[in-house]
Amino acid sequence: MFRRNAIVTGSTRGIGAAIAEALAAEGCNVMLNGFGDVEAIEKQRARLSDEYDVYVAYCGADLGVESECDTLASAAEDVFGQVDILVNNAVIRYFHNIDDFPREEWNHALAVNVTAPFILTQNVLPGMRNRRWGRIINFSSVLGMAARSGRSDYIVSKHAMLGLTRSTAAEVRDVEGITCNAICPGSVITPNTEKKIAELADELELSSDDARATFLSRRGQSRDFIDPARVAQLIVFLCQDSSLDITGAALPIDQGRSATWLEFGQ
Ligand code: NAD
């Protein structure tokens, strides 16, 4: 158990929701963020708070808007008094080839996926330095280490998160208690992935099981999808005191995909 105060961006569903739950289970107060049905979010907030006896709040800041990133950080400071853990998890994805990429969507993706983590880091670092303790975890991806076509906004964002992680780690290296790391998941089963599997099933007229298998094999992920709860456990580890020697790292959680690109031809 470690009683800390955390912001988890994009925690209303998917991996972010699993991280919020895992941190709450460790005794952390959590500021939820992200979009979704108001009643469902309130239900999530109240359940986490009741089940784990922690303070869980919600701020619906739109991270595509710079001033709202500041609002999220100050909301967490107002409610908890300080922010010890920042998990930059929120994401927006567009799907176009570079030739046809609408610039408005490009700018929006970069704002949510890169500029928001930068601004949130800017907000929380001074307090972490004062208290000489902090954890910043940035979401990259296997697509932060290599590319596929039609995903340039995402790939650029996820490569940039490695740069932000290393830059942040460089600037806090002299403070033993502060670390900044990136994690690079393979394919994790989330509402977004489920939607993509359903689209693939429609497109190729496949059963749901066959579409699942096709989705994974196209990505060279030879086992099943990764459970969001297991990604969340990696973040729990990175938030513990014992992880203080790990900083500036890009940690794959991808069943060996990134280690075997050549073998799988991905
Ligand atoms: P998701 O699409 O299921 O959820 C994204 C979250 O971000 C949602 O809560 C959404 O409301 C929020 N969000 C989107 N735009 C926002 C905005 N403007 N302001 C505030 N919140 C906003 O995502 P996921 O699949 O759970 O992925 C979470 C993280 O993990 C992402 O950074 C993603 O790149 C990374 N990742 C996921 C996978 C995967 O297979 N799912 C693989 C590698 C990396």
Residue in 191, 189, 232 with CA at minimum distance from that of residue 48 = 232
On whether both 69 and 194 belong to a single domain, the answer is no
Question: Is 159 within 8 Å of 144 (Cβ atoms)?
Answer: yes
40-50 pLDDT per residue, tens = 999 999 999 99
CATH of the domain at 105: 3.40.50.720
Check residue 263 and give its pLDDT: 81
Check residue 73 and give its pLDDT: 98
CA–CA separation, 105 vs 113, rounded Å?
A: 12
On whether both 80 and 204 belong to a single domain, the answer is no
On whether both 103 and 219 belong to a single domain, the answer is no
Q: Is residue 262 part of a domain?
A: no
137-193 pLDDT per residue, tens = 999 999 999 999 999 999 999 999 999 999 999 999 999 999 999 999 999 999 999
List the 85-88 sheet strands across, edge first: 56-59, 29-33, 5-8, 85-88, 134-139, 178-185, 250-253
Could you tell me the residue range of the domain that residue 89 belongs to? 5-187+227-254
CA–CA separation, 50 vs 4, rounded Å?
A: 17
Could you tell me if the CB of 114 is within 6 A of ligand 1?
no
Residue in 250, 1, 6 with CA at minimum distance from that of residue 128 = 6
Q: Is residue 213 part of a domain?
A: yes
pLDDT average, residue stretch 15-31: 98
CA–CA separation, 264 vs 253, rounded Å?
A: 17
Instruction: Name the residue with the closest Cα to ligand 1, atom 2.
Output: 192
CA–CA separation, 212 vs 166, rounded Å?
A: 35
Quote the ligand 1 centre to 38 CA distance (angstroms). 18
Q: Is residue 244 part of a domain?
A: yes
Check residue 261 and give its pLDDT: 86
On whether both 207 and 175 belong to a single domain, the answer is no
Quote the ligand 1 centre to 26 CA distance (angstroms). 22
Could you tell me if the CB of 138 is within 6 A of ligand 1?
no
pLDDT greater than 80 at residue 266 = no
How many domains does the chain fold into? Answer: 2
Instruction: Name the residue with the closest Cα to ligand 1, atom 29.
Output: 89
pLDDT average, residue stretch 76-89: 98
Check residue 78 and give its pLDDT: 98
200-257 pLDDT per residue, tens = 999 999 999 999 999 999 998 989 999 999 999 999 999 999 999 999 999 999 999 9
Could you tell me if the CB of 247 is within 6 A of ligand 1?
no
Q: Is residue 66 part of a domain?
A: yes
Could you tell me if the CB of 187 is within 6 A of ligand 1?
yes
CA–CA separation, 266 vs 253, rounded Å?
A: 16
On whether both 93 and 157 belong to a single domain, the answer is yes
Catalytic residue among 52, 58, 94, 154: 154
On whether both 208 and 241 belong to a single domain, the answer is no
pLDDT average, residue stretch 8-28: 98
Quote the ligand 1 centre to 39 CA distance (angstroms). 20
Quote the ligand 1 centre to 163 CA distance (angstroms). 19
Residue in 124, 93, 84 with CA at minimum distance from that of residue 14 = 93
39-76 pLDDT per residue, tens = 999 999 999 999 999 999 999 999 999 999 999 999 99
Could you tell me if the CB of 16 is within 6 A of ligand 1?
yes
Q: In the annotation, is 58 catalytic? A: no
On whether both 153 and 202 belong to a single domain, the answer is no
On whether both 143 and 237 belong to a single domain, the answer is yes
102-113 pLDDT per residue, tens = 999 999 999 999
> Tokens 């359940």 map to which residue?
47
Residue in 97, 118, 94, 119 with CA at minimum distance from that of residue 106 = 94
Check residue 265 and give its pLDDT: 54
On whether both 117 and 47 belong to a single domain, the answer is yes
Q: Is residue 44 part of a domain?
A: yes
Could you tell me if the CB of 111 is within 6 A of ligand 1?
no
On whether both 197 and 172 belong to a single domain, the answer is no
Check residue 222 and give its pLDDT: 86
Quote the ligand 1 centre to 139 CA distance (angstroms). 9
On whether both 55 and 161 belong to a single domain, the answer is yes
Could you tell me if the CB of 214 is within 6 A of ligand 1?
no
Q: Label residue 12 by pLDDT band (50, 70, 90).
A: very high
CA–CA separation, 39 vs 41, rounded Å?
A: 5
Check residue 86 and give its pLDDT: 98
Q: Is residue 263 part of a domain?
A: no
Check residue 264 and give its pLDDT: 66
CA–CA separation, 170 vs 218, rounded Å?
A: 36
On whether both 102 and 215 belong to a single domain, the answer is no
